[in-house]
Structure 1
Amino acid sequence: MSRVAKMPVSIPQGVDVSIKEDQISVKGAGGTLLLTPNALVKVSNNDGKLAFEPVNDSREANAMSGTMRQLVNNMVVGVSKGFEKKLSLVGVGYKAAASGSKLNLSVGYSHPVNFEMPAGISVATPTPTEVVIKGADRQRVGQLAAEIRAVRPPEPYKGKGIRYADEKVTIKETKKK
């Protein structure tokens, strides 16, 4: 059995998990998240702890039991605490402005770049060079952060661009004669 799947997922106070044949639903303060379970994994609720067992001894069932456990754990953490990604803008004149569910980026192009936030995701700009993306769904928060970073990824010579707050950019040495 997968080492990840051996650890049960504990359900915190205020989070409601319902397991049905065709979907797993997690409700909490952060919203409601749904997941379609895999047929190779049996999910059971034992006194506030979710257990994940592979249906058979195949390698795929073993792998999917760990994957399902982590996906459900991310859902539980997302509706209780939430996830956030921080981006920083590095460059002269680079700035971001959030208004409601829209993000406006000025990153050296002749036009501003606008992003519309999907439902369940919020964006904030504490300073003009910082962007904070928050939401309950870990995959959607990470995907949106990656799309925003892809507008102007950090370049290797000066380090200008949009980067994750914890990202280290290795600066290359310029070509010498």
Structure 2
Amino acid sequence: MSRVAKSPVKLPAGVQVSKTGGLLTVKGAKSAVVVNVPAKVEIEVQGDTVTVSAASVAADNMMAGTFRALLNNAVVGVSKGYEKKLNLVGVGYRAATAGKKLNLSLGFSHPIEYPIPEGITVETPTQTEIIVKGADKKMVGQVAADIRGFRPPEPYKGKGVRYSTEKVELKEAKKK
């Protein structure tokens, strides 16, 4: 059996798990996350722990481990939440939120309006900082990657949208 799937998922106070059909709903203080349950995985909810196991053969162990990790991400998401921080580096690069849209000025001839998906909140504490928050780890990462994709950091001056933890190695300019 998968080593990851062997360890049960502990549910913190205020988090509830319910299974209906092929869906597992994790509800917490912040929000609710729905996770698809594969047919090869069996789930047991006992009090404040959830145990994941493979349905039959050894090949299903991989799916059980993956599902256990996804379930743990959902539990952490509804209790604590996830966030990604982005920084804008460059002269005139700005970001502002207006309702359910993120307005970006990234040096193009036109401003970029990014529609914020449901379940995600985007904050701009300053004009050059963006904080993406949400309960779904995959969705938070995807929104941050989409925003970064508009202007990834370039290797010569380092201008662009980057993660706050990202280190950009600058290349040396061509010499004659």
The alignment's TM-score, normalised by the length of structure 1, stands at 0.95
> How many residues of Structure 1 are paired with residues of Structure 2 in the alignment?
176
CA deviation after TM superposition for structure 1 residue 79, in Å:
0.9
Matching residue of 1:64: 63
Counterparts of residues 125-136 of structure 1 (less than 5 Å): 125-136=124-135
Counterparts of residues 153-168 of structure 1 (less than 5 Å): 153-168=152-167
CA deviation after TM superposition for structure 1 residue 20, in Å:
3.1
5+ residue gaps, structure 2, are: none
CA deviations 1:72-125 (Å, max 9, x no partner) are 111111111111110000001111111222110001001100111111111111
CA deviation after TM superposition for structure 1 residue 40, in Å:
1.1
Matching residue of 1:93: 92
Matching residue of 1:50: 50
Task: Report the secondary structure of 1:33's partner residue.
Answer: strand
Q: Decide which moves more: 12-21 or 128-137.
A: 12-21
Q: Distance in 2 between matches of 1:65 and 1:110?
A: 49
AA of the residue aligned to 2:71 = V
Q: Distance in 1 between matches of 2:116 and 2:94?
A: 18
CA deviation after TM superposition for structure 1 residue 155, in Å:
0.4
The alignment's TM-score, normalised by the length of structure 2, stands at 0.96
CA deviations 1:33-88 (Å, max 9, x no partner) are 111201111111122111111112332x1111111001111111111111111000
Q: Distance in 1 between matches of 2:127 and 2:120?
A: 19
Question: Root-mean-square deviation (CA), in Å?
Answer: 1.1
Q: Distance in 2 between matches of 1:176 and 1:161?
A: 24
Matching residue of 1:20: 20
- Identical pairs, percent: 55
Q: Decide which moves more: 95-104 or 130-139.
A: 95-104
Q: Decide which moves more: 154-163 or 41-50.
A: 41-50
Q: Distance in 2 between matches of 1:176 and 1:62?
A: 55
